[in-house]
Amino acid sequence: MIFQTIGGKKVSPTIHTRNIVKDEPHVEIHIGTDSQRQGLDIIYVTAIAYRYPFRGVHYIYCKETFPPIKDDWSRLWLETERTMQLAEQLSKEFPGLKFEIDMDYNEDEFYMSNKLVSAAKGWASSHGYKVNIKPHKQIATRAADHHCK
């Protein structure tokens, strides 16, 4: 995954995170992915959001285009896979650093994404991550959603 700042500068998520944590040891780090269909293709955006206490949020993101995925369950599950892949990569680089996983799924049974909540939340929780699901705190997935459009 190739990440960039909102200004378009390419950055390494590992180096960028290392620099942020060095300067701001109390930063909250959120990782999340969102996807949207554009024509036949699917756009996936994975974001790492750095929430500074009392000072707002900074984030970097990776935007990629994938070929069509016919069913929504598979499309949404790939969001979890991409998020977890990045979380595991960063956890190996930064043992002991806490990451929160933001999932763009809804606890409300009215929404189709509700069918993934139990499995996705269980996977992330089993790795020790705090998981945020809609309608609760969504930082990384809101940034990702912004760049999907």
Distances in whole angstroms, Cα of residue 3 to Cα of each of 6, 13, 60: 10, 7, 6
**pLDDT at position 70, please?**
85
Please name which of 147, 32, 136 lies closest in space to residue 81, comparing C-alpha atoms.
Answer: 32
Separation between Cα atoms, residue 1 and residue 116, nearest integer Å: 24
- pLDDT at 112 (0 to 100): 85
Low-confidence ranges of the chain (pLDDT < 70): none
Q: What is the pLDDT of residue 137?
A: 83
Model pLDDT, residue 120: 96
pLDDT for residue 128:
95
| pLDDT digits 0-9 by tens, 17-55 | 999 999 999 999 999 999 999 999 999 999 999 999 888
* Residue recorded with tokens 């960039």: 4
